[in-house]
Amino acid sequence: MQNYYKITCSYQGTNYWGWQIQDNGPTVQGHINNVLAKISKCNPEDIKTLASGRTDRGVHALAQVFRATLALEIEALSLKKAMNSLLNNDIRIVHVEPCESDFHPIRDSISKKYVYLFSWESSELPFDQPFIAPCPKVLDLEKIKKALKLIEGTHDFSNFRTLGTDVKTTIKTIYKAEIQEAEQTLGPFRSKRPVYQLSFEGDGFLKQMVRLLVGAIWNIGSGKIELVDLEKALKAESEVRIGAVAPACGLYLHSVKYP
């Protein structure tokens, strides 16, 4: 008999080649599957997990949601404790609950939120480098706010993706895009440099879409390109790349909403 669990996990992506199992190196899914196999006393190949979406190498997650299919029937809290006792310290299980077999973490989601942390000042502390991306130039925040308003809405984001995942459509809706200054506190340490958080909430995201949007926003904020260039790129009338892929270390899968 198969048993199904909806699991929310948080992880630091620095040491992993993304969520999805691959041959290049260790992955979050691969490690979780190995732990579930130990708990279930089966082979890792017998464990089936499906996440709300892939995160790339070096990208973090505050609340990644996945469905686990196990031959083992176990109380939700016991499964959470068992997993956390075996997982690496950079992966934590936040919540576990039983679910139906037809629960689909991707199709059933109604929105997903990513945040991106960055600073254009170098840090005097060595602790935050894996978590806050370095921005090469001082940015005009008012220009960035105008750019984020342009990003909101329904657009063809084919100019803001990299190949690697088959998708039915490149048209996505961004419900909210905003920037705010983030308070940087790591334990007892507080940095004096400004750290900014970009937030994107939408119905779905393409491969590296957020990091490409961040790269474009940085170019607008630094005056390298204008708002009209972003407008043209969002219309996708021709292939155009208006920004580089921003570093992975600043990106976090923040949350996934379900009905």
Tell me the HSE value of 243 on the side-chain side, using a 13 A CA sphere. Answer: 31
Q: How far is CA 161 from CA 103, 126, 212, 232, in A?
A: 27, 32, 7, 15
Do 85 and 28 meet the contact criterion of CB atoms below 8 Å apart?
Answer: no
156 is a catalytic site residue: no
The catalytic residue among 23, 46, 56, 229 is 56
Residues 191-197: contacts with CB under 8 Å, at least 24 apart:
191/123, 191/124, 191/125, 191/128, 192/124, 193/119, 193/121, 193/122, 193/123, 193/124, 194/119, 194/120, 194/121, 195/117, 195/118, 195/119, 195/132, 196/117, 196/118, 196/119, 196/141, 197/115, 197/116, 197/117
Q: Which residues are catalytic?
A: 56
